[in-house]
Structure 1
Amino acid sequence: MAPNALQQVPVGSSQEQVLVVLGTPSTTATLKGEVYYYITQRSKRAVAFLNPTITDQTVVAVYFNKDRRVEKVAHFGVQDGRIIDFVGETTPTAGQERNFLEHVFKGLLSNED
C-alpha cells in the first residue's frame, strides 16, 4: 500500500473509491457494518530452504456505514507485544474484531495476555 493511500480515502469516501485507491482487500467482515481489511507482512528467510519468518505485520481496517461510506479507518500493528491502533492509539476491545486481529497477529504477540 502506498504511503499516502490512506489520505486518499478520508471519512465519507465511497466504497468504490476505497477499492480504486487501495485495491481489493485481503479479507472482509461484517461487524456493525462492512469492514475491509488490508494485511501487509514483512518476512525474512534465515536459510534458503526454510520457510520465511514474519518479522512485521500491519492491518489497515476500513469501516463502512450502512450507506457504504467510510466511517472510520484504523491501522493496527503490534507494539510492546500488544495489538494497537496507530491512528487512535488504542487497543481493540473484546469481541469478534479482537479475535480476528489476534489470529492475524499470532506469533507476533507476547504470551503475557
Structure 2
Amino acid sequence: MTVSASKTGNAARRRRRLRVTLAATLVCAAMAGCTGEQFQKGYILPPGALEQIQIGASQDQVLIVMGTPSTVATLNGEVFYYISQRANRPVAFMNQRVVDQRVIAIYFDKNRQVIRLANYGLKDGRIFDFISRTTPTSGQEISYLQPLFKLLSAN
C-alpha cells in the first residue's frame, strides 16, 4: 500500500467519525427538545416566607415579606390573596397538566394586623386549607375562593 492510499483511508475514517459524531449530536439535541418542562404561573412563594408572618404582624410587614398580593378583598377587614399554579408537560408538544394550584390568604382585622393565615389548594377536588387542615364552609370566604380556582383551572 502506498502512502497516499494510507492517507486517503485515514481521511475517510475521520470523515466517517465526524459524520457519526454529528449524527449523535443531532439526535441528542432532538431528544433534549422532547424532555419535560415545568411551568410556574402567578405568585412564587419564597422559601420560609409564611413562617415569617406571625399573627398580629402589620400589613406593612406582610408586604415586605410576601410582596404585592395578586388581589385584595374586603370581607370583614382586608384579605391579601397570593395566587399561583404549577403545571408540567412530560413531553414537548403535549398539553400542560396542572400539578398544583394555591391561593395563600392573609386575613387582617380593622387595625390592619394579621388575624389568620390560610394556604388553600385543591384536595380531592375540593378547596382545602393546608395550614388549618380544614375545608372552608360556605359563606363569603368560599364564595370568593371558588371563582379564583375556576379562573386558575381555565388557564
Shorter chain as normaliser: what TM range? 0.7 to 0.9
Unaligned runs of 5+ in 2: 1-44
Percent identity for Structure 1 against Structure 2: 55
Give the paired residue count.
Answer: 108
Tell me, yes or no, if structure 1 residue 35 matches structure 2 residue 73. no
What TM-score, normalized to structure 2? 0.62
User: Partner letter of residue 123 of structure 2?
Assistant: Q
Q: Of 56, 72, 96, which aligns to 2:140?
A: 96
Q: Which amino acid aligns with 1:39?
A: I
Structure with max Cα Rg: 2
1:49 Cα deviation from its structure 2 partner: 6.6
Residue of 23, 44, 54 corresponding to 2:88? 44
Distance, in Å, in 1 between the alignment partners of 2:94 and 2:143 is 29
The Cα shift of 1:52 comes to: 4.3
SS in 2 for 1:12: coil
Is 1:84 the counterpart of 2:128 in the alignment? yes
Cα distance in 1 between the residues matched to 2:91 and 2:140: 37
Helix, strand or coil for the counterpart of 2:61?
helix
| Larger proportion of helix | 2
- Mapping of residues 1-113 of structure 1, within 5 Å: 1-45=45-89, 52-106=96-150, 107=153
Cα distance in 2 for residues equivalent to 1:4 and 1:12: 18
Greater displacement, 16-25 / 74-83: 74-83
Instruction: Give the superposed CA RMSD.
Output: 2.1
Q: Find the counterpart in structure 2 of residue 111 from structure 1.
A: none
Gaps of 5+ in 1: 109-113
**One-letter code aligned to 1:104:** L
1:14 CA displacement: 0.6
**Does the residue aligned with 1:25 lie in a helix, a strand or coil?**
coil
Deviations 1:41-69 (A, max 9, x none): 11234776787453311111000011111
